[in-house]
Structure formats: C-alpha cells, structure tokens
Amino acid sequence: QLQLQESGPGLVKSSETLSLTCTVSGGSVNSRSYYWGWIRQPPGKGLEWIGSVYYSGKTYYHPSLESRVTMSVDTSKNQFSLRLSSVTAADTAVYYCARLTIVMAWPPNYYMEVWGKGTTVTVFS
C-alpha cells in the first residue's frame, strides 16, 4: 500500500528557506502515471496547491508562489522535495505531500489521490 511521509524542520526563521522531503514507500516515484505534489493548509484554513514534480524532473508551480518554490525528485531514494525561499509568517501551515493522478498532460492537472500525514511548519521571527 502506498505511503508518503513528510520530513523536515518544524521551525523556520523568517526570510530563510523552508525545506521538506517526502519519502514514498509501497510504490515508486519513477512512474509515468503520476505527478508528485505539495499542498499546504494554514492553521484553521483551507487547502492550497503549491506545485508538482514529475519523475523526469519536470515541475509546475502555483503562479503565486513560482518565484520562491523549487521542487525536485530523487528516484534513487524514492523521494521528492520542496524548497520555499524567503518565508514569512504567511507560510506557516501544515504541509502535505501527495501522489497526483494525471488527468491532463499539459499544463498538468490532477486530483490528489494519496496524501501523506502532513508536517507542521511554523515560521518565526
């Protein structure tokens, strides 16, 4: 059964870079059928898609975050990663990684089929 597990610092200083990794087990990131993505949820609020990465390394980011986001995939470790630079308090959220089932090739679109448990990231000053 596919499982995803987020890892990374729970506290990040304002203006610095948030870095998270998602480790996939029970399946492979090296798949043509899926993108791998990140979604976040600020405290008490709704869900926001951040972006996605394909096994080939192709990425697609939310336009509002594009200037600060970098995603990558490591097929040898069966992991994918998120980096978000110049963080502020507004980036405080639970960050989820997910497997995204592709419904449209380009620009890619998908629904979020399997989610990790999430990790809380707090930005402090």
**Which residues form the interface with another protein (CB under 8 A)?**
46-49, 60, 62-63, 96, 101, 103-104, 107-118
Smallest distance, another protein to C-beta of residue 106, A: 9
Smallest distance, another protein to C-beta of residue 30, A: 22
Smallest distance, another protein to C-beta of residue 13, A: 26
Radius of gyration of the chain (CA): 14
CA 34 to chain centre: 14
Q: Which of 86, 5, 95, 84 is nearest to 42 (CA)?
A: 95
Tell me whether residue 16 or residue 113 sits nearer to another protein (CB atom): 113
Q: Which of 55, 8, 3 is nearest to 24 (CA)?
A: 3
Tell me whether residue 62 or residue 68 sits nearer to another protein (CB atom): 62
